[in-house]
Structure 1
Amino acid sequence: MGRASRFCLEFQWLAGYGLLLSIILAEWLFFDEFRTRFNYIAFEYLVYPAEVCCNIWESYQTGKIITVVVLLGVVLYAVLRERYLQRIPDSMPASRRWSIVAVTFCVTLALWFTTPMTASQVTRSRTANECACNGIYSFVYYAWTCRFDFEEFYKTTSDADAVVRSRAAVESTDSSFIENSQHPLDRIVTTGRPQRDVNVVLILEESLGSDFIGALGDTRGLSPEFDKLCEQGLLFNNWYATGNRTARALEAVTTAMPPLPTESILKRDHSTNVFTLAHVLAERGYERLFATGGRGMFDGVKSFMTANGFNHFVEQADYLDPVFVNAWGVSDEDMFHRAAEELDKFHHKGKPFFATLLTVSNHRPFTYPAGRIDSDEQSRENAVRYSDWAIGDFFKRVREKEFYKNTIFIVMGDHGARVYGSQLFPVRSYRVPVLVIDPAQSSASQCSTLASSLDIAPTIMGMLGGSYRSVFFGRDALAIDPKDGYAIMQHNHEIAMLNAENHLTILSSQKRTFSFDVNPTTAELTPKKELYKEDAANLMSIFQTANRLYYGDACHPDSTSRLTSAPSDNF
């Protein structure tokens, strides 16, 4: 073997060891954050290297880690170098080399088609099942299926039955469906309350799960400002996020569409003409603002919001002199200060406004401005404390504004903190607080109706009163019978429905269905031999209908349709 060939071979071995160690390290960090092997989230993050790399650099002692990886790679190379090189012949016929490549390819292909992802699901412990997976295999699998055909992977029913069940899920005594509409849920909703054209401010708090809230039972004192606000507002104490990512929350609260597996519709290619709450309020003459501390390109937020009803957008580049910036954007206080200025401008123009404000501070690397809370230590708990401080600071500022007394504020978590545990579906981590501060209500109260984030838009419209046209899959949580409440959720390739009787039904890829009883205190799952068939049928119908509407570019009401009191079966 010549010196050049030997050098190339040795370089390949060294690079290979380094790559292998890097993958192992990356998967360890990923598991630390998401409690899962590589999945579609890892695949999606490759699109945003700036945020991800900066986040890793700020969250971990990255310089030391890289040094260790390099040293381990060199040590492995030195230890194994001669052993491998001695086994390699000085020359190898081309036919043999290609034979090795062909055999390797065929074996890999055979393993791919004969080893389904379900092969690792052999216990009731989700964590144990994840440990049994192969990270590289699961990464390729999720990349391969990131935009798979819903009807190919999940149980389905006839389109007619799916429409009937989807309509029944959203129908109320005060709604009238539209005849001959392209959208089977197209209806006029009469709230039964007088119309109020008051302002609406919807605050989505990053990773604010119910487990952090004192008013919901936490004893660590992480949310004093939120707890004070609860003394003058309506707290929903049985609310669930639809997913475990911010993009899922934005999808739910703006469009009231169920979370189609696997990625949010914000990043899909049929998302420039989706009906949103901003469209409804535009019909009432509202200004529509979306403000975030991060970059608008991340998760396709800016392109989605500006294409679907929002006429004002504020992102990281628009903050001229921010107090603090980290991997995910400017601090919560920077975003709130700018938002208060924008809202004041709308008020002085004499127009009502709808603002959606997205925070980013309560996220790894858990960094924030110094001097706001008692400790500057980087930890999840301190990030929650800072985010809570920023909420309190925002309300102190806006209470001095003229628009405050004419504004409904909703403060809610976008998703939980991803502390999943071993349950097959981590129901507990999906619970989020939802607090409404309404000038028409000055006393504290709570609502225990079971709901999820896709119910926010209809609930807001219910508080605003009057009538409106809707194609929302959600419902007004203040207008439904508590025994009829349910929550729609998605986790990886699983979609789920939790009903008011604590029955959980899960539809998984590979056309599988599971049913569980959920302990209302611990959220532990008890498998049921008999499926909750009605819930399973309703769940598949809702997702099947939403999937066909989305990919059929039929997410808007049909302006050419006529009002009718009887439902139409057209789809």
Structure 2
Amino acid sequence: MYLKRLQPFIYLGAFYILISFILRFIFIFHPLTTSRFSILEGTQMSLIGFINDALIFVLLSSLFVLYLTFISNTKYYHPWGGIILAILIFTTLYCIFYPIRIFREHGNLYAIIIILLSIKTLIFALLLYSNTSRFIVRNTIYFFIIFFYIFFILLNAVGEFLFWNEFGTRYNFIALDYIQNFKLLIGNILESYPISILLSVIIPISLCLTWIIYDKTKDNLIQLPTFQQKLKLIFPYIISAVLIGLFLISFMGQSKHPNNFYREIEANGLYKLYQTFIHNNNTNDFNSPTLASSQTYQFVSQAPPPNPPKIIKGEAEEQHKNVVLISVKSISASFLAHYGNTQNLTPFLDSLAQKSLLFTNMYATGIRSVYGLEALTLNIPPTVEESIVKRKNSSNKNTSGGVFKSKGYLIKYLYGGYNGFDNMQDFFRKNGYDVVGPESFRPHEISFANTWGISDEDMARKAIQIMNGEADSGKPFFNHWMTASNHRPFTYPDGKIEIPSTAKSREGGVKYTDYSLRKFFEMAKRQKWYNNTVFVIVADHCSYTTGKSELSVEGYRIPAMIYSPDGSIPAQHFNTLMSQIDLMPTLWGLLNFSHPDVFLGRDVMKPNYIPRAYIASQQDLGYIKDNYLTIISADTSIKQYQLQQKYSNLPAEFNIYYYPAPIKQPIRNLVNEAMTNYKRVYP
């Protein structure tokens, strides 16, 4: 009898573990998984993954356990049935009219809870007042719950595959950001993937498997267990769930394998998402014992900048040229022909690079637009957990726009995407920028838009219109334009490039953005302000960051160039290592600007510049210097890798690929420097 009651859990658990095993096998051989593993390593990953999945399923089955625990006929007897129904009605009405604070703060969660409470109340009322319907309704609910589990398991597997296909990793903070922006998530999914086809496959499979499990286990509902029998079933589950929870908190996700792909493949995606949620709500991760108790803590104490701050003096008369900063969405260096790409995806950028001051060895600070905006606007190393751009207390900062504004410039931020996603509009407005977004467009000015925003080509036309108006004012202008089209769903107007929009490919998104930039420059050349303008083109971040180490250096390599039509900034290659945060201070040096020394970015053209770069993800802070990568992680660990450049036919400055060799004993002075520089951002 005991084993018979466990049958539905055994069937569902076996199905979940099987699907997880297949998914893990796919990840091992996925093209984005650049590591190759031995049979022994594959077996170890599968075994540890099996344990991880089994433990997670025990916790996932809590909903099913809860349902089966409360199946009973006695709760409908007088007077308990009426009392329970009254409690359910009161609870539902109270939550509707007097929502608990946590519900108000999470609108989607609040709506789901209200719906579930309402359904539960209606079903209980139906079962209470209709004895004849009780067995039918109970079996229907039982069937639906089994269907829900199978459908969720399959849907999650598809989601994990698509996420790996995009980012080469299990669910992380990017997935969490999308979940928290539910409307954008749904719109993006509907426009990016063939949802109708996927559902037409997943739903029938789920129904068939549900019927098989239901047919084999439905007899459990004929003779319901007594209270004593339920205790025998639920007590071991509670003990197991508590022990598993403690185990997960203490050990799971603590793999020490040096290969990042290995750690990701053996992990469980749902638990990784949970970990991300916990870390995302813990702002003290980097005040860790490793930093606080380290012998090097004396090095990280930084005095605040002097008030008033030191002034960096220009070496000649200031050149108040117009400046157009274009942060190009998700353009990794690997997309440009200069760095070895043979797909001809960026013909315009490649041609412009030949006429520009090209920074061949620049690294993005992060893997999201907000980190690129932070680097280009605030000129500071990356902030983990949550970018300053997204924080509520993000007003009145020292910004690139502020430097230009102090010199009489008109400053604007132009973005065709829907800015509410990352708090962009609010951030730039609170820091003195005028914002030009989708609400600035008239209907006839939009030829194409998708869930993510207005096409880059439309934004290019709007930018020319804006800049013409600024030029007529007689004042110089600084405009920061961020492109938007190179983002999933990767759709754009048909007939513009040879890759059809229906392909919904990243290559198409890259090429359409390059096409739009060419159109922008073609229009700009016809304007009177063109020759008196400096154009700065840089990626906001890269398109991928997967690799053997926690932070893949080739994934953070981005293109950057400064183009001056009048030749005042000569075309050349600058091959020295630099960070994205150095781009604007370097531009100010080229324009001979004097400005307060309140930024951590440096002018790389100065003889006292010390080459280094900052790269980071949500939970790892990276510091590149002297061909070493030092990583400070939120889990209190410090790792270091020697970067050995891989063989390539390309010149060394364009070879972006390195083999990260783990260092057993990190070089102490590099660790000290990393801690010192990052602590300046986390005082």
TM-score category of the 2 structures, normalised to the smaller one: 0.7 to 0.9
Q: What do the CA deviations read for 1:336-366 (whole angstroms, capped 9, x no partner)?
A: 1101111111110111111111111112222
- What secondary structure does 2:248 align onto? helix
Deviation at 1:63, TM superposition (A): 0.8
Q: Which residue of 2 aligns with 1:410?
A: 536
Matched with 2:635 is 510
User: Is the alpha carbon distance of 1:92 and 1:440 closer, same or farther for their aligned partners in structure 2, counting shifts above 3 Å?
Assistant: farther
Instruction: Indicate which of 250, 259, 265 corresponds to 1:125.
Output: 259
Which of 285, 300, 310 is the aligned partner of 1:162? 300
**Matches of 1:316 and 1:76, distance apart in 2:** 48
**1:21–1:69 contact (8 Å) kept in structure 2:** yes
Query: Displacement of 1:109 after TM fit?
Result: 2.5
Where 1:53 maps in the other structure, the secondary structure is: helix
CA drift of 1:475 comes to 0.7
**SS across alignment from 2:280:** coil
* Aligned residue number for residue 271 of structure 1: 394
Which amino acid in structure 2 is aligned with residue 390 of structure 1?
Answer: S
Q: Distance in 2 between matches of 1:492 and 1:299?
A: 15
CA distance in 2, matches of 1:191, 1:440: 20
What displacement does 1:159 show? 7.2
Could you say which residue in structure 2 is the equivalent of 1:14? 147
Question: What is the CA-CA distance between 1:160 and the residue it aligns to?
Answer: 6.1
Q: TM-score, structure 2 length as denominator?
A: 0.73
CA-to-partner distance for each residue in 1:187-222, whole Å, 9 max, x for gaps?
A: 321232321111111101111111111233333322
> How does 1:43-82 map onto structure 2 within 5 Å?
43-82=176-215
Contact 1:151 1:544 in 2 (8 A): no
- For residues 443 and 316 of structure 2, the distance between their equivalents in structure 1, rounded to whole angstroms, comes to 43
TM score, norm. by length of structure 1: 0.87
The structure 2 residue matched to 1:193, chosen from 306, 316, 328, is 316
The CA RMSD over aligned residues, in Å, is 2.3
Match of 2:160 among 21, 27, 45: 27
Corresponding residue pairs, total: 529
After superposition, the Cα gap between the structure-2 partners of 1:225 and 1:386, relative to the gap in structure 1 and judged at 3 Å, is same
How many angstroms does 1:101 deviate by? 6.6
* Aligned-partner Cα distance in 2 for 1:384–1:41: 20
Question: Match for residue 371 of structure 1?
Answer: 495
Structure 1, gaps ≥5 residues long: 168-176, 549-571
1:526, 1:193 → 2: CA distance? 45
Higher relative contact order (CA 8 A, sep 6+): 1
Choose from 107, 110, 114 the match for 2:250.
114
State the structure with more CA Rg: 2
Identity fraction in percent: 27
Q: What is aligned with 2:663?
A: 528
* Residue 287 of structure 2 is aligned to residue 151 of structure 1: yes
CA shift, 1:317, in A, is: 6.1
| Residue in structure 2 matched with residue 387 of structure 1 by the alignment | 513
Deviation at 1:420, TM superposition (A): 2.1
- Name the structure 2 match of 1:430: 556
Deviations 1:100-136 (A, max 9, x none): 67435413421332224223x42x3322210111111
The residue number in structure 2 matching 1:476 is: 603
Q: Conserved in 2, the CA contact under 8 Å of 1:316 and 1:329?
A: no
**Are the equivalent residues in 2 in contact too, given 1:423–1:524 (CA < 8 A)?**
no
Q: Is the 8 A contact 1:292 1:316 kept in 2?
A: no
Counterparts of 1:54-453 in structure 2, within 5 Å, are 54-87=187-220, 90-93=224-227, 96=231, 99=235, 102-103=238-239, 105-119=241-255, 121-122=256-257, 124-148=258-282, 149=284, 150-152=286-288, 155-156=291-292, 161-164=299-302, 178=306, 186-315=309-438, 318=441, 320-321=443-444, 322-376=446-500, 377-418=503-544, 420-438=546-564, 439-441=566-568, 443-453=570-580
SS of match in other structure, 1:435: strand
CA contact (8 A) 1:276 1:309 kept: no
Partner-residue secondary structure (3-state), 2:306: strand
Provide closer, same or farther for how the CA distance between residues 302 and 132 of structure 1 changes in structure 2, counting only shifts above 3 A: same
Specify the SS of the correspondent of 1:69. helix
Distance 1:527 1:130, change over 3 A: same
Cα distance change, pair 309–159 in 1 and its aligned pair in 2 (3 A) = farther
For 2:511, the aligned partner's letter is R
In 2: Cα distance, 1:400 partner to 1:317 partner: 23
Distance 1:442 1:417 in 2: 29
Q: Is the 8 A contact 1:462 1:476 kept in 2?
A: yes
Once the 2 structures are TM-superposed, how far is the Cα of residue 440 of structure 1 from its aligned partner?
A: 4.4
Give CA deviations for 1:307-326 in whole Å, capped at 9, x if unaligned. 12212332366353312112
CA contact (8 A) 1:517 1:525 kept: yes
